[in-house]
Amino acid sequence: MYEVSNRSALEHDAYSFRVERSNLRWLYNANLDYCNELVRVNREENLNNHGQLKGAVFRAKTFSSDRVKGIAAFATVAAVSSHWMPVVLALGCGSTAPAVGLAGVLFYGMQKLNVNKTVNSIVIDDETGNLILSISNSPISTYKIMVSPTDVKSVVALGMDNLGADDVDSNLIEVKNYTNMATGEI
């Protein structure tokens, strides 16, 4: 009888959740160290990211995925056009189908490179404290506007933050009362 009651006491201790105070203190300190390390790593990443902006608040990537796809489409059209005769002979369907395909790829490339009304960079003017936005008219031309920070607001976020895409934060912004820096027009 003594042996049975001793076994139940041992089994009870094996499955009970008894944590000593020193273990709780150790777990608490380990959690604090982990949280502090995360804060330090995030701070270093932010400093690195802001250093790459070279004084700007925002700077768009030079080669976004759409620009790369547009350039690749034009390169494909150039490569196929330069070897037109072997392509037509290899397909064996005349020259109409490859020409229609090239036209489709050309329009696809033009659509991917069609960037207008997109903010390329945002810089703070040191003298006035206003924002200078560089906005693209076309893939090769831009214009700059100066606007007070109170006249710019984000209307909606268009990014995929919930899908894990950290570097594709995009917003639709509304700008009121700006000055075109080239013409001085308000």
In a domain, 11, yes or no: no
Tell me what the pLDDT averaged over the chain comes to: 80
Domain identity same for 71 and 101: yes
Q: What is the pLDDT of residue 1?
A: 46
Contact of 176 with 150, CB cutoff 8 Å: no
Q: Which of 113, 133, 149 is the last residue of a domain?
A: 113
Domain identity same for 106 and 69: yes
pLDDT tens track for 22-59: 778 888 899 999 999 999 998 888 777 777 777 777 77
Domain identity same for 80 and 91: yes
Q: Cβ–Cβ contacts within 10 Å for residue 107, how many?
A: 11
Q: For 185, which DSSP code?
A: -
Residue 145, CB-side half-sphere exposure with 13 Å CA sphere: 20
Structural domain for 78, as ranges: 65-113
In a domain, 168, yes or no: yes
In a domain, 174, yes or no: yes
Higher pLDDT, 164 or 156: 156
In a domain, 1, yes or no: no
CA angle at 31 for the pair 29 and 32, rounded to the nearest 5°: 65
Domain total of the chain: 2
In a domain, 35, yes or no: no
pLDDT tens track for 82-105: 988 888 888 777 778 888 889 999
Burial of 112 (0-12, 13-18, 19+ CB in 10 A): buried
Residue among 71, 67, 73 nearest 106 (CA): 73
In a domain, 32, yes or no: no
